[in-house]
Amino acid sequence: MEKMPYQPGAEVPMSRDRIASIATDWQRALPVLAAGRVVLRELRADDAPSLCALLTTEEVSRFISPPPTTVEGFERFIAWTHRQRAAGAYACYAVTLRGRDTAIGIFQIRRLDATFELAEWGFAIGSTFWGTGLFRESARLMLDFAFDVIGVRRLEARAALPNGRGNGALRKIGAVQECVLRRSFARAGVRFDQALYAIVDVDRAAAQARRPAFTRVH
């Protein structure tokens, strides 16, 4: 974070000029995003212990691709996220609470085409923090990053049909279910149908016109 160091209390609204400069910089280091109670920042190697403790529980991991199972595995994953970000293919944010720097979850986004206009995202938060509104606050920041900084035009998400919270979370932030991908996800030897959701730029622009600007960057 040497380029855009996090300075609590020194937040500025995200202007169009800043978006333009950050859009070209995110591959070097992810900008810190903050609003309300949450701060999203790039993962660091020392996030591995908290992520390992929070994201490997059965209730968090049962409907997502298997996370690493050890702290060392998370350290390797975090190093991989940095390489993928530098390549411009992917970004992964740690969710933290304002004033506390511990990672309590992650938001990932990966490109599905060469331009990154088509992308997919995914997220997981420690179950202690479910139902607290932190997901929605983090998701808004992530959507601003995806559409305004990366330049995504269509953002897809997949959720296994029995994953009630995952489907409910996507719906409440305006993702539209487009179809069901039958038996498209395997976990622990079980095949699940997945709902395919999308948020597209034109719909988001209409929704944004109904709410005030939200994102802060440092």
Ligand X SMILES: CC(C)(COP(=O)(O)OP(=O)(O)OC[C@H]1O[C@@H](n2cnc3c(N)ncnc32)[C@H](O)[C@@H]1OP(=O)(O)O)[C@@H](O)C(=O)NCCC(=O)NCCS
Size of the site for ligand X (CB under 6 A): 21
Smallest gap from residue 18 Cβ to ligand X (A): 28
Smallest gap from residue 139 Cβ to ligand X (A): 8
Query: Please, which residues bridge with residue 68 across strands?
Result: none
Q: List the one residue from 5, 8, 66, 168 that touches ligand X (CB under 6 A).
A: 168
Q: How far apart are CA 213 and CA 13, in angstroms?
A: 8
Q: Is 51 in the site for ligand X (CB under 6 A)?
A: no
Contact predicate 143/154, CB 8 Å = no
Q: How far apart are CA 190 and CA 187, in angstroms?
A: 5
* Footprint on residues 21-50 left by ligand X (CB under 6 A): none
Contact predicate 139/95, CB 8 Å = no
Q: Is 67 in the site for ligand X (CB under 6 A)?
A: no
Q: Is 60 in the site for ligand X (CB under 6 A)?
A: yes
Q: Is 130 in the site for ligand X (CB under 6 A)?
A: yes
Q: Dig out the tokens for 35 from the structure.
A: 């609003």
Contact predicate 94/47, CB 8 Å = yes
Binding site for ligand X (CB under 6 A): 60, 63-64, 122-125, 130-131, 135-136, 157, 159, 163-169, 172
